[in-house]
């Protein structure tokens, strides 16, 4: 159960020469869990849940809490404290962890420690009003109901303000009141932060004020031609249409007449949509088929011969950049980026000679490669009790036991090799038959 995350580790930290030259390096370095936005890693009394070692430490701590709570000389208050497990953060990781912890305690440890099982309490703390905010509302509601039914103490609108080695202080956002609760174990799962080695690199390349490395749409670190970054340590800085609007206009206006005709525009349309994917998203949102429709709509003109000048062009595209979003820090993104970069590197020489990317808007010729495009394949939220919620492309929502089987299939199919696939599946079988491993190794 706790080794769940390992199968998602897609690419390790690699620095190796590319394309035969000495200078190119590729960086894929994950980042620690951290209190979002702050430089704090996590309070020292809490356990992070990022690496395999963290998972082992969590399991060991859970077992130790049970072992200590089972000692005969303890009073009930001390037992309650030891068996109070707190999870901070109601995102997908915190929710999955709380659900799995609940199953572990309810299905396995309660049988081994029957006399103290009634002292067990799991608290899930979330600062906003709901858990799983990024999912469809139906999934959020189902998860919250399920947790209540399972007896998980779900506290939304609750911010952790302090953690000492004895208790955790929680502020109720609505009333402003602060309460303290003793605990046996806290797992911190509120977001990710940068590793020191990345902070150093970012300072060196003039990105010292950022949380993650900024790359261009080809995953090249900004300000460098030879460093590439992918996965959790990087974010793509998609260029805005409005930043380049004058250059886009100039590129399309082949006869330098100062106005754009539909024909002129159609010739560069494909390149522009590829270079600025937010444009396609915007058109889809507005239920338009092409940019020409947008220009026509903005001019209120329906003639084929519509012509626009730079000001009209600017006003037609002024809202396009509003739909730009950063990609999530997930394995799905990291693995697609890995495949993309591997393809680019393998074809470096070929594409140098025959560039296949879109037209360079601010320069001459074409880009060597197509820019990276993320394809969202959906998202799962395992909720424990052999139930999972899934939000699949097209906003298709599926919740329940059958979705858990879908999760098993996807999870197994995404393993990097037949060896890991066999290990993971045999782990599941072992758990089905004998229960979870409760040794403190
Ligand atoms: C508990 C948990 C559950 C998750 N569940 C999901 C999920 O269900 N679906 C999903 O899509 N994503 C999930 N994620 C997110 C996913 O794991 C990450 O987005 C993904 O692993 C990022 O890949 P990466 O290669 O960038 O980083 P990592 O997978 O973190 O790999 C980075 C590697 O670099 C190594 N490293 C770091 N610094 C150095 C250094 N200085 N020298 C050498 N090596 C170094 C690290 O040890 C690590 O092995 C989860 C994350 C967590 C923490």
pLDDT tens, position by position, 245-298: 999 999 888 888 888 887 887 888 889 889 999 988 888 888 887 777 777 777
Say how many Å lie between the CA of residue 31 and the centre of ligand 1.
Answer: 7
Ligand 1 atom nearest to CA at 331: 11
**Phi, psi torsion values for 168, nearest 5 degrees:** -115, 130
Kindly report the protein residue whose alpha carbon is nearest to atom 25 of ligand 1: 11
Secondary structure letter of residue 228 according to DSSP = E
309 pLDDT band, cuts 50/70/90, is confident
Cα-based angle 254, 259, 260 (whole degrees, multiple of 5): 60
Residues in the chain: 441
In the chain, where are the structural domains located? 32-193+376-434, 245-323
Domain covering 32-193+376-434 in this structure, CATH number: 3.50.50.100
User: Rounded to 5 degrees, what angle do the CA atoms 214, 218, 222 make?
Assistant: 30
Query: Distance from first CA to last CA of the chain, Å, rounded?
Result: 14
Segments of 224-377 assigned E as strands = 227-229, 234-236, 259-261, 307-309
Q: What are phi and psi of 91, to 5 degrees?
A: -80, -175
Give residue 8 CA to ligand 1 midpoint distance, Å. 7
Q: Which two tokens stand for residue 141?
A: 């509601």
Cα–Cα dist 157/287, whole Å:
37
Nearest CA residue ID for atom 49, ligand 1: 12
pLDDT class of 303 with cuts at 50, 70, 90: low
Q: Which ligand 1 atom is at minimum distance from the Cα of 33?
A: 53
Whole-number Å distance, alpha carbon 126 to ligand 1 midpoint, is: 23
Q: Which CATH architecture has domain 245-323?
A: Orthogonal Bundle (1.10)
* CB distance 204 to 196 below 8 Å: no
Going by CA atoms, what residue is nearest to atom 4 of ligand 1?
5
Pocket lined around ligand 1, Cβ cut-off 6 Å: 5, 8-13, 28-30, 49-50, 93, 195, 197, 231-233, 329-332, 334
pLDDT value of position 21: 40
Dist. CA 215–CA 85, nearest whole Å: 39
Q: Which residues contact 263 (CB under 8 A, 6 or more apart)?
A: none
415 Cα to the center of ligand 1, angstroms: 15
Atom of ligand 1 nearest to the CA of 195: 38
pLDDT for 420 beyond 90: yes
Q: What is the pLDDT of residues 353-384, one digit of tens each?
A: 999 999 999 989 999 999 999 999 999 999 99
Q: Cα of 21 to ligand 1 centre, how many Å?
A: 28
What distance in angstroms lies between residue 4's CA and the mean position of ligand 1's atoms? 12
Which pTM value belongs to this model?
0.83
Q: How confident is the model at residue 13, as a pLDDT?
A: 31
Distance 215 CA to ligand 1 centre (A): 18
Residue located via tokens 């937010």: 278
Q: What number of other Cβ atoms are within 10 A of residue 222's Cβ?
A: 17
């Amino acid at each position: 159960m706790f080794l769940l995350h390992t199968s998602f580790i897609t690419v390790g930290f690699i620095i190796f020469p590319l394309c035969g030259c000495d200078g190119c390096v590729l960086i894929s370095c994950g980042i620690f869990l951290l209190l979002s936005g702050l430089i704090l890693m996590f309070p020292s009394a809490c356990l992070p849940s990022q690496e395999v070692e963290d998972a082992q430490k969590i399991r060991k701590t859970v077992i130790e809490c049970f072992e200590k709570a089972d000692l005969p000389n303890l009073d009930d208050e001390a037992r309650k404290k030891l068996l109070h497990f707190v999870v901070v953060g109601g995102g997908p990781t915190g929710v999955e962890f709380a659900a799995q912890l609940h199953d572990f305690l309810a299905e396995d440890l309660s049988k081994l420690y029957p006399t103290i099982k009634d002292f067990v309490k799991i608290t899930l703390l979330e600062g906003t009003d709901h858990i799983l905010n990024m999912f469809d509302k139906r999934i959020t509601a189902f998860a919250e109901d399920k947790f209540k039914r399972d007896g998980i103490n779900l506290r939304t609108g609750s911010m952790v303000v302090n953690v000492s080695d004895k208790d955790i202080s929680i502020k109720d956002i609505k009333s402003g009141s602060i309460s303290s609760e003793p605990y046996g174990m806290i797992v911190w799962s509120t977001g990710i932060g940068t590793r020191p080695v990345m902070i150093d690199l970012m300072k060196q390349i003039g990105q010292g004020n950022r949380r993650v490395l900024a790359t261009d749409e080809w995953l090249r670190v900004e300000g460098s031609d030879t460093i590439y970054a992918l996965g959790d340590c990087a974010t793509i800085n998609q260029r805005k249409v409005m930043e380049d609007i004058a250059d886009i206009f100039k590129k399309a206006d082949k006869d330098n007449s100062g106005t754009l005709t539909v024909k002129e525009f159609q010739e560069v349309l494909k390149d522009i949509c590829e270079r600025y994917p937010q444009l396609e998203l915007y058109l889809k949102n507005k239920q338009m088929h092409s940019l020409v429709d947008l220009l026509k709509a903005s001019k209120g003109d329906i003639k084929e011969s519509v012509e626009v000048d730079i000001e009209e062009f600017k006003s037609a595209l002024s809202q396009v950049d509003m739909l730009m979003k950063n990609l999530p820090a997930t394995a799905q993104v990291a693995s697609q980026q890995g495949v993309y970069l591997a393809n680019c590197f393998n074809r470096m020489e070929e594409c140098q000679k025959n560039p296949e990317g879109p037209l360079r808007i601010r320069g001459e010729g074409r880009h060597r490669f197509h820019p990276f495009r993320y394809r969202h394949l959906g998202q799962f939220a395992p909720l424990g009790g052999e139930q999972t919620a899934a939000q699949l492309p097209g906003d298709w929502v599926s919740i329940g036991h059958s979705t858990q089987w879908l999760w098993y299939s996807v999870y197994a199919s995404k393993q990097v090799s037949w060896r890991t696939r066999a290990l993971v599946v045999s782990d599941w079988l072992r758990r089905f038959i004998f229960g979870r491993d409760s040794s403190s190794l």
